[in-house]
Amino acid sequence: MTSEELDIEFKEAVDRINDHTEPFPADFLLRLYAYYKKATNNYDRPSSRKPIINAFKANALFQVQNISRDEAKKEYIALVTKYFLYRK
């Protein structure tokens, strides 16, 4: 897969998540958050009003610190694909 194809597939996965109206499980959202932030090179600090949520987000980011941007995109796409494939 070329870099351009990966970017297109990643954008489609992000759009699919953003268009979904039902709530997602919290652990799924944390993984999406971490992979998205890594894939987009966005290293802004978590900005929730609740410190515990910021801690979970920071931990999720820590867990993906050693993967590349492309790998983060691939993981994000895989998570989205798997979620919509197996959800009820």
Query: In this structure, what token pair is assigned to residue 60?
Result: 């999720």
- Read off the pLDDT of residues 16-67 as tens digits, 9 standing for 90 and up: 999 999 999 999 999 999 999 999 998 777 778 888 988 999 899 999 999 9
Reported as half-sphere exposure (CB side, CA atoms, 13 A), residue 38 has a value of 26
Spell out the domains of the chain, with CATH numbers in brackets.
Answer: 26-86 (1.20.80.10)
Higher pLDDT, 7 or 53: 7
pLDDT tops 80 at residue 86? yes
Mean pLDDT across 79-87? 91
Its pTM stands at: 0.90
Non-local (6+) Cβ contacts of 32 within 8 A are 17, 24, 76, 79, 80
- The Cα–Cα gap between 41 and 10 comes to 14
- Give 88's pLDDT tier (boundaries 50, 70, 90): low
